[in-house]
Structure 1
């Protein structure tokens, strides 16, 4: 494949964390197109299934959007979703201090799970998906630690009310699974899905050599 040409890639997200993770492995999306989907869990829906459904819904919504844009009509679409859960209870993407405080108190001193899914739609319309489960345990958080973290504002918009790649990294006693999945995009799964469908994920590595 010529180094001057590659198929286009659309990241179905406006998340700076997901973009940074792709850039970390040399992948530069051609466009960031966030998907507007209802993220409310269905009645009785398991956290794992919620992550998979939302990743698929985001990919499909963006795929329909770019079909009308000539410059992106033949692009790969990559979408992901991350769900933080304690048991079968799905924690919100905290938007208020009260929500974040509730999440942190619930996570303090106990284990929880982060379910992520990555979904790819190829230029030919083929769907591929992978799911990832990661287990974490937080230390016992003091009231002072919770209040200080809330004051940082880092929790805003984050699933479970925390960002593992930031200050909350000091809370994690144990992590079993995929760190990048907890940040927002399971890189191993994303790269292998794209590569398996013909996207030249390592082209920039060769160009940099």
Structure 2
């Protein structure tokens, strides 16, 4: 079974149940810490730069309180249609508008990740996935928004939800990245930090 190295402790700075589940499914031990962080970003940033900026910005909010043996993981997922960033919708009307724009088209999902240690070591990276939606009817969009309330999701949808099952026709890249965490990259970075080991069965 995988395990985190006892000398370094992983802190997940996210309220996302999807990110928590993904780390749990990796077999990692972690502590969750939450605080409010402004999620605005400079307008000149482009696509992956936005996701990486937000992840790093969130991590910096935790820097003063990190112990030397702790590493905080922060992440931010954005949906890009053309050059427009579709973040979390403010209300149902905006969610419907986002899904109306996405339907029948291909868009990009970027998740930025930052790993910041209590000793000041910082790693920032991002991953990209291209997602294609089939054409959706207004009734399907209305059903999803009302039934699933996707106001906490970038682009107003979750790939693991009903709409992902009925609308996604093509996905190029990591599915887990669309869920909110490119776990293949996270695992690699944690390995390089010496934070994870594989315990062989006896």
- TM-score, normalised to structure 1, is 0.88
Contact 2:87 2:154 in 1 (8 A): yes
Deviations 1:124-152 (A, max 9, x none): 32111221111111010011111111121
Partner of 1:187: 183
Partner of 2:10: 9
1:112 to 101, 107, 112: 107
Is 1:197 matched up with 2:198? Answer: no
Which structure has more strand as a fraction of its residues? 2
Gaps of 5+ in 2: none
Q: What RMSD, in angstroms, separates the aligned Cα atoms of the two structures?
A: 2.0
Deviations 1:57-87 (A, max 9, x none): 11111222x23xxxx4521111111110101
Contact 2:41 2:54 in 1 (8 A): no
Partner of 1:58: 58
Moved more, 4-13 or 127-136: 4-13
1:171 to 164, 167, 173: 167
Partner of 1:103: 98
How many residues matched?
199
Structure with larger RCO (C-alpha < 8 A, sep 6+): 2
Gaps of 5+ in 1: none
Contact 1:55 1:117 in 2 (8 A): yes
- TM-score, normalised to structure 2, is 0.91
Contact 1:122 1:197 in 2 (8 A): no
Partner of 1:47: 47
Structure 1 residue 45 displacement after superposition:
1.8
Distance in 2 (alpha carbons) for counterparts of 1:62 and 1:129: 15
Contact 2:55 2:112 in 1 (8 A): yes
Moved more, 144-153 or 183-192: 144-153
Any idea what SS the aligned residue of 1:135 has? strand
Contact 1:91 1:103 in 2 (8 A): yes
Distance in 2 (alpha carbons) for counterparts of 1:3 and 1:89: 38
Contact 1:35 1:58 in 2 (8 A): no
Distance in 2 (alpha carbons) for counterparts of 1:3 and 1:85: 34
Distance 1:3 1:36, change over 3 A: closer
